Structure 1
Amino acid sequence: MGLLGGGDILGNGIYYHWYKGEMSDFTFRYYGFEWVHPLPEPFLSIFYIVGFLLGLAVALGWRFRITAPLFALAFSYLFLLEKAHYLNHAYLFVWLSWLLALTPAWREFSLDVRREPSEWSPVAPAWSVYIFPLLMGLVYFWGGIAKINYDWLIEAMPLHMWLQRRADMPVLGALWAEKTTAYVMAWGGMLLDLSAGFLLLHKRLRWLALGLLLLFHATNHLIFNIGIFPYLSMVLTSLFFAPDWPKRVVEWLAQKSWASRSMSGQLQGWIRGWKSRVASAHAEARPQRFWQREARYARPLILALVALIAFHCYLPLRHWAFDSDVNWSEEGHRYSWRMMLRSKQGGGNYLLVDRATGAEEIVLPYEHLNPKQYRKMVTHPDMILQYAHHLRDTRAAAGQDVAVYGRFRVRLNGRSRQEFIDETVDLTKVEWQWFGRKDWVLREGE
């Protein structure tokens, strides 16, 4: 996970910062984390490089107790830096990185153990083994629940739209263009998500589930640009198997006759050398003392983990408490594993009215935001409100008191564009509310 996360940090720097240059003067920050700001150059570029190196250090188990929390902090900072870049897998990775920092993941095969064999331990607390597949099981299950809706199952939308865009793909293009393909993938994806976690718990059926999930994630990677999520999903899915499976795979490769003689010898020599390094009386006694010392933290830790699981069971359900369609209003969309469920496009502008003179001015946000920020903002009410407040505050700093009205139209799942924001509401007077339907956000077709 450290290597994937470090690669994601560096990839964001290479693609968005250095290649695309998509760093505008304004950033959409998460409510409650408005204090998170981009570092000035050259420190932001240095951050991307250091974040990658921290991920590499975590993967190798080098100074794990220091580098793992620092890596979690770095990835959290990257996540909080720009709301327009929100991805479900990035949110999941924030939780995973902090949980990983709490585990004794360095205590078997790591540079820390190579440096200090007394740190070696053949055992780990049960929670550190089960919490990661449990979280992945929740992602699969709630992702399946979210797919039980009219557009996805009855209309096969927006999946059919996305597949049609790949109709020019060699060999498979004609298959993607068929509406039947969209229905098969929509229903198959829903059923697989709902059953994956349960199938992976069964010792025999987990191989079937693994094969289906490999096909599922490979297809997603082929058709959609969804970053590291397919790779992360397979890493987490593999944790449903016995914890020592990587070591057994290495030993199996070393014993196979078809493996090259030099490779087999190197693997076997590496395994023997590692075992001899940690096979000492001191190393055998250390784990018992370590776990006796850590046992006093077991109860509060278990309570915290139960609260964490309850929290992740509540978030995907919270949109039912709102009198609105989550795919349209976005109320309850984030943090709920509603992945690749809707296609939304929009556009619009702001009307600024000077309260003193009545003079009107139209502000085109695409002239001041980068393309991704604009695409996300016009379909998300919270971001529309944030930018309206930004316009209010910048004009106030210049001595001008203005009213700001949003004029936006949005299209959901290929339907015609509809009014999205009530144009009669002065957004400078609206404060963000965490729960409940926003009256200034119109219903689809209203």
Structure 2
Amino acid sequence: MMLKKLFEPIDNAPLIIFRIFLGFLLAAETFGAILTGWVKRVLIEPEFTFSHIGMEWLQPLPGYGMYVYFCLMGICGTLIMIGYKYRFSLGLFTFLWTGVYLMQKTSYNNHYYLLILVCLIMLFLPANKYASFDVKNKPEILQHTMPRWCSVVMIFQVAIVYFFATVAKFYPGWLDGSFTKIILSNTEFETFKDLFGQHWFHLFIAYSGIGFDMLIVPLLLWRKTRTIAFLAAISFHIFNAIFLQIGIFPFFALSFIVFFYPPEKIRSLFFKKKIPVEYSEPVIGNKSVLLYFFVPFFILQLILPIRHHFIKGDVLWTEEGHRLSWRMMLRQRQGYTNFKIIDKKTQMEIPYDYMKKLTPKQRGFVGSNPDGIWQMAQIIKKEFASKGTDVSIYVSSNASINGGTFKTLIDPETDMALAKWDYFFHNEWILLYDSQGNIVR
């Protein structure tokens, strides 16, 4: 009965308007990245980027190539919005955006990852079957309905994001308002500085964040609270857009709400000329996409955010298992790192100022993140190897979480030139501490 319900035909208005919103936001994100200087700062000015580990070969195009790259993505976003060559345009955008995501991680937002997931989902959905140039060019593909599961998968995707975002906030640095104090103190709005400096307001924002993430999906699903939840979502995301300046994510998150309202309501709001659907059509088949793509797709998404529980140490400290886990805006890392380079042949220390090679943002990444430190060590090793010098690399690194006590992050006795990166378990060269602050071996 449940499976039959999933394949019932419903009005496809929510999916069609979401495609239009999505295409607009993709174009805004990519053209905006050029206009705001993000592409220049993050991908053109650096001598190299810190790609995701294992993807070090993936580096930005030389010269002004990344401007062309982002213009192409912006064009793809526009074509998605108008529904022209929909699957080709969306597939190309997904490929190019995934490349950008993998080629640098010093400027990281969770919505970069969410965009990849949503684009993958949309590749399997019939989002070009109405109000599109594809229909204009090929009228026989016109459809007014879609299977109900097209809405269900989008709702489930956003529910995963909010659920794990809620769970991640249950740690002392969030519950006592320490982290919200840090992010609010960075406001550029002088009018609100007094308010943002109040401890009660730090707690209000902290617990409002938990409450919103925890309840927004259930409240949107229940008809009696849906409109109240919608208004709360607008307030929450507009606040984030203005004061936290996190790009398109607030508007992207709001666009999912169209899947929570009855399809007929969305049709009456956005497609007044669209004929009402009479649900007399047979149940739509094609279970293979749901069973063989979406079931594994969501199982993987339920596994990735909990993997840090199976890795030794606190993820807030080690960062192992942090990414792909919806741990959104949870902590501030500070740190400083020095590299000691030893010529293995002469045992003499070689002076080396690694900071000259990095942008300010990259310096912060290498200064406080274990994976950044490891990758920088491999870059230094490769540089000296190209000159015929075999080196050992020792690190002096101290880090602090949310303005807390600085502690040694990396084992100073480990030769980082020989250290390996473990993708699935704890890297023993990252020092761990007990509740009293003592090193745990």
TM-score range, shorter chain: 0.7 to 0.9
From 354, 361, 377, the counterpart of 2:350: 361
Equivalent in the alignment of 1:389: 378
Q: How does 1:105-120 map to 2 (within 5 A)?
A: 105-120=127-142
1:23-74 deviation line (CA, Å, top 9, x unaligned): 3222211134334232223432211111100001001101112211111112
Q: How does 1:167-186 map to 2 (within 5 A)?
A: 169-186=189-206
d(CA) in 2 for partners of 1:363, 1:247: 63
CA RMSD of aligned residues (A): 2.5
CA contact (8 A) 2:44 2:63 kept: no
d(CA) in 1 for partners of 2:250, 2:133: 28
What is the CA-CA distance between 1:346 and the residue it aligns to? 1.4
Equivalent in the alignment of 2:231: 211
What is the CA-CA distance between 1:19 and the residue it aligns to? 6.3
Shift of the 310–19 alpha-carbon distance from structure 1 to 2, 3 Å rule, reads closer
Q: How does 1:106-185 map to 2 (within 5 A)?
A: 106-153=128-175, 155-166=176-187, 169-185=189-205
Report SS of the residue matched to 1:33: coil
* Runs (5+) with no aligned partner, structure 2: 1-21
TM-score normalised according to structure 1 size: 0.86
Relative to total residues, which structure has the larger helix share, 1 or 2? 1
From 65, 70, 82, the counterpart of 2:92: 70
1:328-349 deviation line (CA, Å, top 9, x unaligned): 1101111111111111111222
Report SS of the residue matched to 2:223: coil
d(CA) in 2 for partners of 1:33, 1:127: 35
Shift of the 23–170 alpha-carbon distance from structure 1 to 2, 3 Å rule, reads closer
1:398-437 deviation line (CA, Å, top 9, x unaligned): 1000001122211111113221111110011111111222
CA contact (8 A) 1:355 1:401 kept: yes
1:343-382 deviation line (CA, Å, top 9, x unaligned): 1111222110000011213433321011222222322211
Equivalent in the alignment of 1:189: 209
Equivalent in the alignment of 1:254: none
d(CA) in 2 for partners of 1:409, 1:372: 17
Name the stretch that deviates more: 132-141 or 6-15: 6-15
CA contact (8 A) 1:142 1:194 kept: no
From 87, 106, 113, the counterpart of 1:84: 106
1:162-209 deviation line (CA, Å, top 9, x unaligned): 22333x734433221110011111112112211211111111112122
1:440 matches 2:437: no
Equivalent in the alignment of 1:282: none
d(CA) in 1 for partners of 2:388, 2:396: 24
Q: How does 1:356-435 map to 2 (within 5 A)?
A: 356-435=345-424
Alignment-mate amino acid for residue 299 of structure 1: S
Report SS of the residue matched to 1:350: strand
Alignment-mate amino acid for residue 197 of structure 1: V
Equivalent in the alignment of 2:12: none
d(CA) in 2 for partners of 1:86, 1:77: 14
What is the CA-CA distance between 1:299 and the residue it aligns to? 2.4
CA contact (8 A) 2:337 2:366 kept: no
d(CA) in 1 for partners of 2:352, 2:263: 56
Equivalent in the alignment of 2:7: none
Report SS of the residue matched to 1:408: strand
CA contact (8 A) 2:29 2:248 kept: yes
Shift of the 176–42 alpha-carbon distance from structure 1 to 2, 3 Å rule, reads closer
CA contact (8 A) 2:177 2:206 kept: yes
d(CA) in 2 for partners of 1:328, 1:22: 31
What is the CA-CA distance between 1:244 and the residue it aligns to? 4.9
d(CA) in 1 for partners of 2:367, 2:64: 31
Alignment-mate amino acid for residue 23 of structure 2: G
Q: How does 1:251-290 map to 2 (within 5 A)?
A: 271=273
Alignment-mate amino acid for residue 311 of structure 1: L
Equivalent in the alignment of 1:99: 121
CA contact (8 A) 2:43 2:49 kept: no
1:9 matches 2:19: no
* Runs (5+) with no aligned partner, structure 1: 252-267, 280-286
TM-score normalised according to structure 2 size: 0.87
CA contact (8 A) 1:84 1:377 kept: no
Alignment-mate amino acid for residue 333 of structure 1: H
d(CA) in 2 for partners of 1:85, 1:171: 28
Aligned identity (percent) is 27
Equivalent in the alignment of 1:258: none
From 334, 337, 355, the counterpart of 1:345: 334
Equivalent in the alignment of 1:41: 63
d(CA) in 1 for partners of 2:265, 2:44: 42
Shift of the 243–391 alpha-carbon distance from structure 1 to 2, 3 Å rule, reads farther
Alignment-mate amino acid for residue 357 of structure 1: T
Equivalent in the alignment of 2:6: none
Q: How does 1:180-329 map to 2 (within 5 A)?
A: 180-250=200-270, 271=273, 295-296=285-286, 298-329=287-318
CA contact (8 A) 1:347 1:410 kept: yes
Report SS of the residue matched to 1:345: strand
CA contact (8 A) 1:141 1:195 kept: no
Alignment-mate amino acid for residue 73 of structure 2: G
CA contact (8 A) 2:30 2:74 kept: yes
Name the stretch that deviates more: 13-22 or 117-126: 13-22
Higher relative contact order (Cα pairs below 8 Å, separated by 6+ residues): 2
Name the stretch that deviates more: 362-371 or 348-357: 362-371
